[in-house]
Amino acid sequence: MPEITFVDFAGNETKVDVPSGTSLMQAAMENMVEGIEAECGGSGSCATCHCYLTTDWQGKIADPDSNESDMLEMVTEQKDLSRLSCQVLVSDEHNGLQVHLPESQY
């Protein structure tokens, strides 16, 4: 099972094993990782599960679709590597992925 590390804005790390096919949002919720609200429960409607991926994973994870890209344009603290964690599905190749969480969702 791929191991994913969530890093909160203060730098605290939480490592969790995530079954393939699970979204990063779902993994965070199930493992009580704070800093992801996910108001809409993963339907890509609310932009409250904003996270950042790291540069070394660029190109190895499917790009955001147009709905996600549009929502990301106006999240607070947006960066190039911003994603909505409910739209990123974990697969076996993602072992070691680091996911950083913004301060605004605390």
59, 39, 92, 32 alpha-carbon torsion, rounded to 10°: 130
**96 forms part of the interface with other proteins (CB under 8 A):** no
Nearer to other proteins, 40 or 81 (CB): 40
Cα distances (angstroms) measured from residue 96 to each of 5, 39, 51, 55, 57: 7, 27, 16, 13, 10
CB of 83 to other proteins, least distance (A): 14
Nearer to other proteins, 26 or 85 (CB): 26
Residues that bind other proteins (CB under 8 A): 26, 29-30, 32, 37, 39-47, 67-68, 70-71, 73-74
